[in-house]
Structure 1
Amino acid sequence: MTLAAPHPGAHGGPLAARLAGVRSSPVRDLLALVDRPGVISFAGGLPAPELFDVEGLRAAYAEVLTGPAARRNLQYAPTEGDPALRAAVAARMTGRGLPTTTEQLLVTTGSQQALTLVAAALLDPGAVVAVEEPTYLAALQVFQLAGASVVPVASDADGVDPDDLARVLAEHRPALVYLVPTFANPTGRTLPEERRRAVVELTARHGTWVVEDDPYGELRYDGAPVPAMAAQPGADEHVLHLGSFSKTGAPGLRLGWLRAPERLLRPMTVAKQAADLHTSTVDQAAGAAYLASADLDAHVARLCAVYRSRRDAMLAALPSTLPPGSTWTRPEGGMFVWARLPGGVDTAALLPAALAADVAYVPGASFFCGEPDHATLRLSFTTHTEDEIAAGTARLAVVLRG
């Protein structure tokens, strides 16, 4: 049989339609632009690299790559995850007030993959997802890629508004509600416990799944911890909880987990098999060894002490950085301050001038699924020292205050 020659200049067919409405992440785009000496970037939600426990992680990798277990740790592994790692994560979550068993956990390649698996398992094309407005932009990408219709729920200084959620549940019948209730990305807000209970009760009544994304929960600098949504009465059968080692350990490990009702673990496991078979065996083994030998509580306490000081430096600088009439959040933890400038300012239009001044931020419009507020921006305070924050905000003041 003779095969026809390709048409001259042909470059393959069109892209899948599901990609048509998925916007590139401005944070990822900015990372490429600001990766040059001298730039002070408040754009990426990056942990401080000088605080990584390199020695502890090196020892963990050496342990799992030494002796008879070394070859097993380089082999294929169960999709559900390393049993020792799952047990360690379950114990830590239980200790933090969310009773968890190994059987409720699926190890994922970062919590971002957990979100992708949730979308694959629970959302058909055209399904409705309700999100707090504004919300984590990579979650919007996941839902758009799944072909879902994303609708906003109003929020205020305390996070998502249960009254507006009740309206959205009645009008749109979403299959899933997605929230970052503790030190939210991008706003830094924390949902009070009474609102968490209201969200759990409302969604249980409507038979709606809830995804509680919790990458920042251990990074608390002030105030008392708020029990997880998944720990609220009535949450057991419909609230999924996503966690990550990225903010307390190192994001390069790509270790996350999904806590879900046991009836969901099987379909989630099938979705993960189709995605990547399993998360890196050696990284999981090293994670388990690290949790068994290191004092993670002491490490997190050190992170919180440093990040608290950096948050305070950012908050102290903002009155002289932002124009008069600006407002901003005062997060009790996490990585982000959310600000709004007065008048009809478009922070995206100001970004080129900021980059020319060797400072960066994320314009806020990308965090909205509905009508964007162009006068908003997100600032991350964890990556830089107090002196660098002072220098970066001084550069930003020249741009934002004219």
Structure 2
Amino acid sequence: MAQLAASLRDELKRYSPGEKLPASRALVARYRVSPVTVTRALAQLATEGLVITRPGSGAYRAEPHAARPPERGDTSWQEITLSAEASFEHVPRGVDAGAVVATLAAPPPGVIEFSGGYLPAALRPERALAAALARAGRRPGAWERPPLAGIDELRAWFAREIGGPGGAVAASEVLVTAGGQSALSAALRALAPPGSAVLVESPTYPGLLAIARAAGLRTVPVPVDRDGVRPELLQRALAASGARVFVCQPLFQNPTGAVLSADRRPAILRAAREAGAFVVEDDFARRLAHADAGPLPPTLAAGDRDGTVVHVCSLTKVTSPSMRVGAIAARGPAFQRLAAIQIVDSFFVPRPLQEAALELVGAPAWERHQRAVAAELRLRREAMAAALARDPHTARAARPRHLPSGGYHLWLPLPDGTDEPALAAAALRAGVAIAPGRPYFPAEPGSPHIRLSFAPPAGVAEIDEGVRRLGAALAAGATPRGA
């Protein structure tokens, strides 16, 4: 396969961008190899960004990336930020996985799951995953030790995904990680000394708060509105707390679904640079955009020259809970520290899993799967919103203010005085699992909320039934009278 890929790589020089390559049958005859070998070679070129495969049409030479290497700024500021540890008050370290377990554990039989964060089996690319894993296991060296930072081809694929067509991120600036949670944990421990403050969006992902507590960090909230975090509040929080790390989800934020607006993006980076702080960009939902999302904004990392942004992403959400392959992109001393922490923690991500990920993203089925997920998530979002509006109890007490065009959940404000744990317990008795809003806040919340996920249910009919059960729980007195 490697020899055929090298030959095709050389042959591509004779084709113009967008020009179609010979059909697979012609390549089989010319090079006297099997159809499987041709498919794998084309998949390899696709992961390198040299070829685009179109199901039912064939393979085409891709548009060339910018020939000039991206500009790199001065990362020397990181040496101060990573080393100048002030004397912080002791912060008790506590490992509380309760809020995380609530989204990971399967509900009891017969209970509809509105609390989870993964696709149902019918939406996972299980056939493509199985085929990718089988091919990966036969790759030469598949069971040998991988490079500590990850397989070069997979690092290059992540670099293109993160940096965009301008090549803002180099493969040498990417670490392959065991999923997004592992990457976030490594980032906080690498960038923030124990006892220090770390700024987080409010509300935010409970798994991030659990990581911070386990590392002995003080979480300081920065409020989020429909356009993402507010830059003026971020500036104040940086100055007041002395924090040198801010963790955010600029795209389809969990749980609000907010997208950081175009005018706020440079302001956020400017505030961080002026404070000598890192921005940890948790880009968990980029591959969960809905079919009506339109063009997505580039990553914050794509516009960063000075190593301010540490980017985290993963393949897990859009594939399977067990495809725990992700990436961290960073540069300068921060990259070296992150690489060292990963080695100490886990040595490396198992090579067969990395090879399987590489096979998956290079296969024609990958683009088909992403289109199918985008269409289905839009359908489910609309179905849940319609069901909430239709049921008299949820229409009165649990209506979303914002329908996101990406992600897998709705964030619902509840009437003041609602007892979230009581509502969650009543909903579970009625046969539907929901996520109370309190665990999403690093400090006292201003009002009660719940988060409903439309990804885990089996289909639209189950979403409708789950909302009906939630309405029954609300009718049973889980909200204040008159709400």
* Same fold, TM-score > 0.5, yes or no: yes
Residue of structure 1 in register with 2:30 after alignment:
none
3-state DSSP of counterpart to 2:396: coil
From 205, 213, 234, the counterpart of 1:165: 234
Task: Name 1:394's counterpart in structure 2.
Answer: 468
Cα 1:97–1:392 change in 2 (3 A) is: farther
- Give the CA deviation at 1:111: 1.1
Where 2:374 maps in the other structure, the secondary structure is helix
Question: Which whole-Å CA distance do the structure 2 matches of 1:244 and 1:372 have between them?
Answer: 29
1:377 to 443, 446, 450: 450
Partner of 1:79: 148
Q: Is the 8 A contact 2:231 2:268 kept in 1?
A: yes
1:43 alignment partner, one of 95, 115, 119:
115
State how 1:130-169 maps to structure 2 within 5 Å. Answer: 130-169=199-238
Aligned-pair CA distance for 1:176: 0.2
Cα deviation, residue 78, structure 1: 2.1
Alignment-mate amino acid for residue 375 of structure 1: P
Report the more deviating stretch, 298-307 or 262-271: 262-271
Quick one: which of 342, 346, 358 aligns to 2:415?
342
Deviates more, 1:371-380 or 1:181-190: 371-380
Deviations 1:254-276 (A, max 9, x none): 10100111432221111011101
Aligned to 1:225: 296
For residues 254-304 of structure 1, what are the alpha-carbon distances to aligned partners after superposition, in whole Å with 9 as ceiling and x for unaligned? 101001114322211110111010011110011112222334222111100
For structure 2, the 5+ residue unaligned runs are 1-89, 477-483
Aligned partners of 1:276 and 1:21: how far apart in 2? Answer: 22
Alignment map for 1:303-318 (pairs within 5 Å): 303-318=373-388
Instruction: Report 1:114-129 matches (<5 A).
Output: 114-129=183-198
1:205-232 alpha-carbon deviations (Å, 9 max, x no partner): 1111000101101222224312222223
Instruction: Look up the SS of the partner of 2:263 in the other structure.
Output: helix
Three-state SS of the structure 2 residue aligned to 1:178 is: strand
1:51: how far off? Answer: 1.8
Cα displacement string for residues 323-360 of structure 1 (whole angstroms, at most 9, x for unaligned residues) = 52644231111111101111210211211111111101
TM-score (norm 2): 0.75
Which residue identity is paired with 2:464? A
Match of 2:318 in 1: 248
Query: Matched residues in 2 for 1:315 and 1:97: separation?
Result: 38
Q: CA deviation at 1:235?
A: 5.2
Q: Which amino acid aligns with 1:339?
A: L
CA distance in 2, matches of 1:57, 1:218: 16
| Corresponding letter in the other structure for 2:387 | A
Larger Rg belongs to: 2
CA distance in 2, matches of 1:251, 1:354: 25
| Count of equivalent residues | 381
The residue matched to 2:451 in structure 1 has which SS? Answer: strand
Cα pair 2:118 2:320 within 8 Å, conserved:
no
More moved, 75-84 vs 193-202? 75-84
Distance in 2 (CA, whole Å) between partners of 1:111 and 1:257 is 7
Structure-1-length-normalised TM-score:
0.89
Distance in 2 (alpha carbons) for counterparts of 1:81 and 1:156: 37
2:86 aligned partner: none
Q: CA–CA distance in 2 between the matches of 1:382 and 1:254?
A: 18
Q: How does 1:285-304 map onto structure 2 within 5 Å?
A: 285-304=355-374
Question: How far apart are residue 312 of structure 1 and its match?
Answer: 0.5
**Deviation at 1:156?**
1.7
Provide, for residues 121-159 of structure 1, a one-character-per-residue CA deviation record: whole Å limited to 9, x for no partner.
Answer: 111111110111000111111111111111011222222
Residue aligning to 2:270: 201
Q: Secondary structure at the match of 2:239?
A: helix
Instruction: Quote how far apart the aligned CAs of 1:96 are.
Output: 6.5
Amino acid at match of 2:319: G
Distance 1:398 1:134, change over 3 A: same
Structure 1: tracts of 5 or more residues without a match: 1-16
Question: Take 1:181 and 1:113, find their aligned partners in 2: how far apart are those partners?
Answer: 19
Q: Report sequence identity in percent.
A: 34
1:76-115 alignment runs, 5 A limit: 76-95=145-164, 99-115=168-184
Determine which structure has greater relative contact order: mean sequence separation of CA pairs < 8 Å that are 6+ residues apart, divided by chain length.
Answer: 1
